[in-house]
Amino acid sequence: MSTLEIKDLQVSVTTDDGPKEILKGVTLTIGGGETHAIMGPNGSGKSTLAYSIAGHPRYEITGGSVTLDGEDILGMSVDERARAGLFLAMQYPVEVPGVSVANFLRTAKTAIDGEAPKLRTWVKDVNAGLAAMNLDPTFSQRSVNEGFSGGEKKRHEIAQLELLDPKVAILDETDSGLDIDALKVVSEGVNRFRGREDKGLLLITHYTRILNYITPDFVHVFVDGKVAESGGPALAEELEANGYDRFVNATV
C-alpha cells in the first residue's frame, strides 16, 4: 500500500534578510486510497509544502522527514521523486517554448516507466487523455503551456496526472481559476485517478466548491506553516461558513 508520510517537516527560504522559516513542523500521513484536503489562508505555506515535497531547489529542508512507502524522498533528486511515484499538479504550470506537448509527454512517460511507451497505443492514450480534459488534439502539437489559458494549463496538468499514473498526487489549487464546466471536467479526471487502486491524493484548495465533486476523507486546516486542525468533510463546511478566523486567531 502506498503511503506518503510527512513528519515534523520544517522548511526555510532564503530572503534578502536571511533565511525565513515557512513550514514550522508539518505532520501528515496520506495512505493509499485516501484523499486529504488542505485548506488555509493565503501565504500560510501550502504551496511551500507541495514544492518542498516535489524537491524545488528554492526550498531548504531544515528538519523533519518525508517518506514514500518508507523510502526517504528528501534525499532524492526532483526527477527521482517523480519516478518513485510522486506527482505535483502546479498552481502555476511553467511554459516551455518550442517543446511540443506530445514530445514532453512521451519523454516523461518514458522516464517514469523506464521504457518508451508503445507508439500506437500511446498516441491513442494521449489523444484520449487530452479529449477527456476537453483539450482538442491540436494541443499535442503546441508548445508546453505556452499561450494556454489559465484553465487549459490546469486541465493539461490533470491530463498528465492520468497519463503518468503516479502513486501519490499533490494538486496545488488546481481548481482555482476554473469555470464550472472545467471544474467538473477536472474533478472527473481526478476521480478517475482516485478510482484506480491504492492512489493517494493531497488536494490543496481555497474553496469548498471542488470538494462537492471530490469528497475528501480528511480535511486539514493549514495556518502559519503547520496543520492547525484536522477533521472530516464537516470541517470544510465549517470553514465555508465561518472562514479561518477561529484558527488564525488561535495562533496569535
Q: Which residues would be at the binding site for ligand ATP (CB under 6 A)?
A: 13, 15, 20, 22, 40, 42-48, 58, 91
Nearer to ligand ATP, 48 or 174 (CB): 48
Least distance from ligand ATP to the Cβ atom of residue 98, Å: 28
- Beta-bridged to residue 144, according to DSSP, are 96
Name the phi and psi angles at 243, rounded to 5.
Answer: 70, -165
Which does residue 118 touch among Mg ion, other proteins, ligand ATP, none (CB within 5 to 8 A, set by kind)? none
Tell me whether residue 91 or residue 140 sits nearer to Mg ion (CB atom): 91
52 counts as binding Mg ion under rule CB under 5 A: no
Could you give the string, one character per residue 123-162, with x where binding to other proteins holds by CB under 8 A and - elsewhere? --------------------xx---------------x--
Give the x-and-dash track for 86-125 against Mg ion (CB under 5 A): -----x----------------------------------
Q: Edge-to-edge strands of the sheet including 18-30?
A: 18-30, 4-15, 59-68, 71-72
176 part of the interface to Mg ion, by CB under 5 A: no
Residue with Cβ nearer Mg ion (171 or 182):
171
187 is an interface residue for Mg ion by CB under 5 A = no
Closest by Cα among 175, 226, 234 to 48: 226
Site for Mg ion contains 174 (CB under 5 A): no
Beta strands in the chain (DSSP E): 4-15, 18-30, 35-39, 59-68, 71-72, 86-89, 96-100, 143-144, 168-172, 200-205, 218-223, 226-231
Q: Contact at 8 Å (CB) between 224 and 193?
A: no
Q: Is the dihedral of CA 205, 206, 209, 212 positive or negative?
A: positive
Binds other proteins by CB under 8 A, chosen from 9, 112, 135, 201: 112
Residues 62-81 that bind other proteins (CB under 8 A): 77-79, 81
Strands (E), 157-215: 168-172, 200-205
Q: In this structure, are residues 27 and 207 in contact, taking their beta carbons and an 8 Å threshold? A: no
Does residue 94 interact with other proteins by CB under 8 A?
Answer: yes
Question: CB of residue 205 vs ligand ATP: minimum separation in angstroms?
Answer: 9
φ, ψ at 201 (rounded to 5°): -140, 130
Q: Is 47 in the site for Mg ion (CB under 5 A)?
A: yes
